[in-house]
Amino acid sequence: MKPFLSFFRFLVPCLALASASCGPSGPALTEEEDPSFGRGRSYLKVGKEKEALDEFLSVTRRMVECPKSHLEAGRLLLLLESRKDPVASIYHLRRFLLLKPESREASKVRQLIVSAEREIIRKLPGKPYDDYLELIALKEENAKLKRLIDDYKARLGVPLEEISKTPLPVDPPANPPTQPPPGPATVRSYVVQSGDSLYAISRKFFGDSSHIDHIFQANRDSLPNKDSLKPGQTLRIPPLSRNR
């Protein structure tokens, strides 16, 4: 019995010591206190985006509440050509929206998700969703037009509909001047934006998408085919002939 009591007296302090050593060592780090997050931000400041991506991904693998790291990882996975992964980008961007649904950046993040989805669709063999991509481009153009109209309303201080209904008094001239003959039409230029297609550019300049061949033929020196547009590329937009 005495050996058992001696062993028990020895075991109790050992268990207490082990319990103390396994207890919490201190409060958990926040995302911004994490060294990897700090290194990622530092790499971004000096243009080392690949290294920054690795640091932000490291944070997302170790921490649950890390919305900023998810945002940076999602953005870089979409923008870095050497590391482009639109599927992974969507995952990280959606994690950010889940953690920060009311963030001021939420609308921009949703636009990034649309861009990532467009990248996935564009890479599908046979391009089965060209019409869908055109529909997205049309919606974006409509949204831009609505913003312009809202801007005009804000500047004028009255609804645009009321202004359009108010006729302006105009006195017809006694001898209307003769109109000079129109000068020669000039060739315009256009810088390709992300998500652009020849269909969308044709609608932008000519009102419909039936003039893609007209634009393509004018840029054969820089366009191997009609699907080879690159963001930042400058296109020539020739005028339509008068007999069209």
Provide CB contacts within 8 A for 83, sequence distance 6+: 50, 53, 76, 77
Top-confidence residue, 97 or 210:
97
Which CATH number applies to 33-122?
A: 1.25.40.10
pLDDT band per the 50, 70, 90 thresholds, residue 157: low
> Is residue 222 predicted with pLDDT exceeding 80?
yes
Provide CB contacts within 8 A for 200, sequence distance 6+: 134, 137, 138, 141, 209
Segment of 17-31, 109-123, 164-178, 201-215 carrying the highest mean pLDDT: 109-123
Q: In one letter, which amino acid is 183?
A: G
Burial of 25 (0-12, 13-18, 19+ CB in 10 A): exposed
Q: Where are the beta strands (DSSP E) in the chain?
A: 188-191, 234-237
Q: How far apart are CA 44 and CA 53, in angstroms?
A: 9
Q: Where are the domains of the chain?
A: 33-122, 130-165, 188-237
The answer to whether the 33-122 and 188-237 domains have the same CATH topology is: no
pLDDT digits (tens, 9 = 90+) for 103-139: 999 999 999 999 999 888 887 776 555 555 556 656 6
Output the pLDDT for position 15.
Answer: 47
Supply the pTM of this predicted model: 0.45
Q: How far apart are CA 31 and CA 37, in angstroms?
A: 7
The CATH T-level fold of domain 188-237 is Membrane-bound Lytic Murein Transglycosylase D; Chain A (3.10.350)
